[in-house]
């Protein structure tokens, strides 16, 4: 090949190579202008409890969409990386570590089952990452096992126990049976209710305890055994398919005739998908009202949720919204993603919600959110929650000194 041709071919190749290696200046500026997102990891028990998990997810998604539509947080978009907690037993901890180490999330939101929350809380403490727990009733999470890196939205089992006992002590019932899943939350809710009611009504008698395996209740024999105990009242903490099976079998065998029932979850839409008119009326329970005597702000939240998702919100939707909303507000107020700065804001500031301001107790980092106590009913052939009364988040807690002893810490 003549030297001139070789020279021109070589020159052309150099020009092409240089052109590929040097990006357009506008591309460089555009890349630099793309803000890094605020990355939040999320763990819920999607496989173990899909209805509850997805209603909860839609709550926090609504909060994220509202923040991103308004420009994000710290001028950055909010990105949530969602994972299935896989039911605990070490698996949830592995998933959380993956979010921290591989996905490089800044914060973690989640929980749901108490045993799962306790598991991932240990990871949060070890890895020095802030964990905002949505669902997890066991008081152990923030008391016996509490630490600086974990916050919680749902009120603890102690709160539920005293609230339900306050209502139950007015009942004439003396002979009580309890039924709850044989796992951390079931034992926590039951123990706290029994302790509170025994204190308020020393004349009550506990004539039976039933601990079905979560998701595997043998409803027929269980209902018959409870009938044989001849109770005046039942305290229950079943949920999902277990609750539905218990209700159907109990109605079939007449268990609920002329008997009082206090139930942790029967008033929640999360449990209503297949019940229809089968939901017994008059049970004392917790729920989430979307109509009736509620504030315009709460009604607006419910309307926004239903417009976005074409279904009514559950209590988990509310907790999920509050968890993400308060965390994002705290990051914005802190002015950075520094975890200690965000923690300090969460412990000291109040945050806007559809029912007024909420905060987190400095003694245990528990939210000031309360619960709606009411009764089950059916309206137009569908399950309903009626006679709702809001119980504020400061009503049912022991003294700070008692909590400090449980946490084994000096007064703050």
- CA distances (Å), 284 to each of 89, 205, 270, 341, in order? 33, 19, 17, 41
Asked whether 371 and 345 are in contact (CB, 8 A), the reply is: no
Q: Which pLDDT belongs to residue 291?
A: 81
Q: Which pLDDT belongs to residue 276?
A: 83
Q: Is the pTM of this model over 0.75?
A: yes
Q: Number of structural domains, the chain? A: 2
Residue 189 lies in a domain: yes
Residue 21 lies in a domain: no
Residue of 270, 241, 243 whose CA lies nearest to 53:
270
Same domain for 122 and 62, yes or no, is yes
For residue 249, the SS3 value is: helix
- Residue 136 is part of which domain span? 39-156+295-369
Same domain for 317 and 340, yes or no, is yes
Same domain for 247 and 377, yes or no, is yes
Residue of 239, 235, 184 whose CA lies nearest to 210:
235
Residue 142 lies in a domain: yes
Same domain for 108 and 240, yes or no, is no
Same domain for 213 and 243, yes or no, is yes
- CA distances (Å), 311 to each of 53, 55, 273, 286, in order? 14, 9, 11, 19
Same domain for 166 and 213, yes or no, is yes
Q: Which pLDDT belongs to residue 275?
A: 85
| Sign for the pseudo-dihedral over CA of 244, 247, 249, 252 | negative
179, burial (CB in 10 Å: exposed 0-12, middle 13-18, buried 19+)? buried
Angle between helices 157-168 and 184-200 (to 10 degrees): 40
Q: From the first residue on, what is the mean pLDDT of each consecutive set of 10 residues in the chain (412 residues)?
A: 41 38 41 78 94 96 98 97 84 95 98 92 97 96 96 97 98 98 96 98 98 96 98 97 96 96 96 88 96 87 97 96 98 97 97 92 96 95 94 91 83 46
Residue 314 lies in a domain: yes
Same domain for 365 and 377, yes or no, is no
Same domain for 276 and 314, yes or no, is no
Same domain for 365 and 383, yes or no, is no
Question: Would you tell me how many other CB atoms lie within 10 Å of the CB of residue 175?
Answer: 15
Residue of 294, 270, 330, 269 whose CA lies nearest to 106:
330
Rounded distance between C-alpha atoms, residue 390 and residue 191, angstroms: 23
Residue 405 lies in a domain: no
Which domain CATH number covers 133? 3.40.50.2300
Residue 12 lies in a domain: no
Same domain for 302 and 360, yes or no, is yes
Rounded distance between C-alpha atoms, residue 336 and residue 206, angstroms: 53
336, burial (CB in 10 Å: exposed 0-12, middle 13-18, buried 19+)? exposed
Same domain for 50 and 152, yes or no, is yes
Same domain for 216 and 252, yes or no, is yes
Residue 279 lies in a domain: yes
Residue 261 lies in a domain: yes
Q: Which pLDDT belongs to residue 241?
A: 93
Residue of 221, 214, 208 whose CA lies nearest to 243:
214
């Amino acid at each position: 090949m003549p030297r001139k041709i070789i020279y021109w071919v070589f020159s052309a190749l150099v020009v092409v190579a240089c052109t590929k290696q040097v990006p357009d200046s506008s591309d460089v500026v555009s890349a630099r202008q793309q803000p890094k997102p605020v990355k939040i990891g999320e763990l819920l028990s999607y496989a173990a409890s899909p209805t509850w998990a997805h209603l909860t997810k839609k709550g926090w998604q609504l909060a994220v969409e509202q923040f991103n539509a308004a420009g994000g947080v710290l001028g950055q978009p909010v990105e949530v990386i969602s994972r299935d907690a896989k039911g605990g037993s070490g698996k949830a901890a592995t998933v959380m570590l993956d979010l921290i180490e591989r996905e490089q999330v800044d914060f973690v939101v989640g929980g749901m089952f108490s045993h799962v929350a306790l598991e991932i809380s240990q990871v949060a403490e070890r890895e020095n990452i802030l964990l905002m727990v949505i669902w997890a009733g066991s008081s152990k999470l923030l008391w016996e096992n509490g630490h600086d890196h974990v916050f919680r939205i749902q009120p603890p089992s102690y709160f539920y126990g005293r609230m339900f006992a306050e209502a139950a002590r007015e009942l004439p019932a003396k002979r009580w049976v309890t039924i709850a899943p044989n796992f951390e939350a079931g034992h926590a809710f039951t123990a706290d209710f029994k302790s509170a009611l025994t204190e308020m009504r020393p004349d009550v008698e506990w004539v039976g305890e039933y601990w079905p395996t979560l998701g595997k209740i043998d409803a027929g024999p269980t209902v018959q055994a409870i009938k044989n105990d001849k109770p005046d009242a039942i305290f229950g903490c079943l949920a999902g398919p277990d609750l539905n099976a218990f209700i159907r079998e109990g109605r079939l065998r007449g268990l609920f005739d002329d008997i009082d029932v206090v139930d942790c979850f029967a008033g929640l839409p999360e449990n209503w998908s297949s019940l229809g008119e089968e939901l017994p009326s008059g049970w004392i329970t917790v729920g989430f009202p979307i109509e009736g005597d509620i504030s315009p702000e709460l009604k607006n939240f419910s309307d926004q949720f239903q417009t976005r998702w074409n279904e009514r919100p559950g209590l988990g939707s509310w907790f999920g919204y509050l968890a993400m909303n308060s965390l994002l507000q705290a990051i914005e107020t802190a002015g950075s993603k520094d975890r200690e700065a965000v923690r300090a804001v969460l412990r000291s500031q109040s945050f806007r919600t559809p029912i007024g301001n909420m905060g987190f107790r400095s003694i245990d980092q528990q939210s000031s959110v309360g619960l709606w106590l009411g009764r089950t009913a059916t309206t137009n052939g569908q399950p309903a929650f009626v006679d709702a009364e809001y119980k504020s988040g400061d009503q049912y807690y022991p003294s700070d000194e008692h909590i400090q002893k449980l946490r084994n810490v000096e007064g703050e």
